[in-house]
């Protein structure tokens, strides 16, 4: 399955870069978030690949959900797709936007890919471990290497959202003695933890499951974990929530080699 995820993500990345290089047209969705034709083209490509290979597995994809197309996932394994995470970065011509695909089994992200086409890198995670891939201009993988979270001593290095910082995040960094942090967009924050470039990613802002699942899968495969504020691993497949919409995440903290 992970090989198919890789093929689909690379194909989607090619379409995204075509739009990126020519300049996107931007529209605003009902939730006030931006969307471009790159999101839509990439999602169509990914869904086509998934439908052919895994026709019986439900797929929850960001733009399809926005259009009211929400499959039944209760009690089932399913796939989460964010065709273009970091749309604001994409629109502003920053290169830290990603393609995200993840498999959820019993509420756990067990396999996923995060592909940053403008950076020429991808991250894979599964029960077999985590890898970082180098992708050339022809969308060919030229190198693969195993990655893992780091064990560290002293003050942790944090990674924080470029577009969604908050007072709660600033307080967390202060309370946990964080003296240095990296600012990056999209699900690459999880990947920096997974490859040992940082130690903690606090998120005190709203996210959806398709925003986090692939990066979370990579992080868990590399030896890290994402915890809700209750101290439990972040679950997936959250529907019929009393205080939020289906597939919305609570606040969380993702940890590399040190968990609190």
Which residue carries 């939020």 as its tokens? 244
Q: Which pLDDT does position 154 carry in this prediction?
A: 77
The whole-number pLDDT of residue 31 equals 64
Between helix 37-53 and helix 2-22 the angle, nearest 10°, is 160
Q: How far apart are the first and last CA of the chain?
A: 33
Measured in whole angstroms, how far is the alpha carbon of residue 168 from the centre of its chain?
21
What SS3 state is found at 171?
Answer: helix
Whether residue 193 contacts residue 221, with contact meaning beta carbons closer than 8 Å, is answered with no
Strand 180-184 and strand 157-161: the pairing is parallel
Nearest to 206 by CA among 180, 232, 235, 245: 245
How high is the pLDDT of residue 126?
A: 98
Give the number of other Cβ atoms within 10 Å of residue 47's Cβ.
Answer: 20
Phi, psi of 205 (to 5 degrees): -160, 165
Closest CA relative to residue 217, chosen from 68, 79, 30: 79
Pick the CATH number of 157-255 from 3.40.190.80, 3.20.20.150, 3.50.50.60, 3.30.300.30: 3.40.190.80
Q: Residue 208 corresponds to which tokens in the numbers above?
A: 């959806």
All residue ranges of the chain with pLDDT < 50 are 260
Predicted confidence at residue 92, as pLDDT, reads 85
Contact 134/209 with Cβ under 8 angstroms? no
CA distance 23 to 36: 10
**From CA 208, how far away is CA 247, in angstroms rounded?**
6
> Tell me, what's the pLDDT at 260?
44
pLDDT per residue as tens digits for the range 50-98: 999 999 999 999 999 999 999 999 999 999 999 999 888 888 888 999 9
Query: Can you read off the two tokens belonging to residue 99?
Result: 């393609």
Please state the domain extents for the chain: 2-147, 157-255
pLDDT attached to residue 162: 54
Q: What is the CA 193 to chain-centroid distance, rounded?
A: 13
Output the pTM of the full model: 0.93
Residue 67: CB partners within 8 Å, gap ≥ 6?
A: none
* CATH, domain range 2-147: 3.30.540.10
Residue 132 three-state SS: strand
């Amino acid at each position: 399955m992970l090989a198919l995820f890789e093929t689909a993500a690379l194909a989607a990345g090619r379409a995204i870069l075509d739009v990126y290089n020519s300049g996107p047209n931007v529209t605003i969705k009902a939730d006030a978030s931006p969307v471009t034709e790159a999101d839509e083209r990439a999602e169509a490509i990914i869904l086509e690949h998934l439908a052919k290979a895994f026709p019986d597995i439900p797929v929850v994809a960001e733009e399809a959900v926005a259009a009211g197309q929400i499959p039944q996932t209760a009690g089932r394994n399913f796939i989460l797709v964010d065709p273009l995470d970091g749309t604001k970065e994409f629109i502003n011509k920053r290169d830290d936007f990603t393609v995200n695909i993840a498999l959820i089994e019993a509420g756990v992200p067990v396999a996923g890919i995060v592909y940053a086409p403008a950076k020429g890198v991808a991250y894979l995670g599964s029960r077999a471990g985590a890898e970082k891939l180098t992708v050339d201009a022809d969308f060919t993988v030229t190198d693969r290497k195993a990655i893992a979270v780091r064990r560290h001593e002293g003050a942790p290095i944090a990674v924080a959202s470029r577009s969604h910082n908050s007072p709660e995040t600033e307080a967390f960094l202060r309370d946990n003695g964080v003296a240095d942090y990296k600012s990056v967009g999209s699900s690459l924050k999880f990947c920096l933890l997974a490859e040992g470039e940082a130690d903690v990613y606090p998120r005190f802002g709203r996210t959806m499951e398709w925003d986090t699942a692939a990066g979370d899968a990579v992080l868990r495969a590399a030896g890290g974990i994402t915890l809700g504020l209750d101290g439990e691993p972040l679950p997936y497949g959250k529907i019929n929530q009393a205080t939020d919409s289906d597939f919305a995440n609570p606040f969380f903290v993702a940890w590399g080699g040190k968990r609190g």
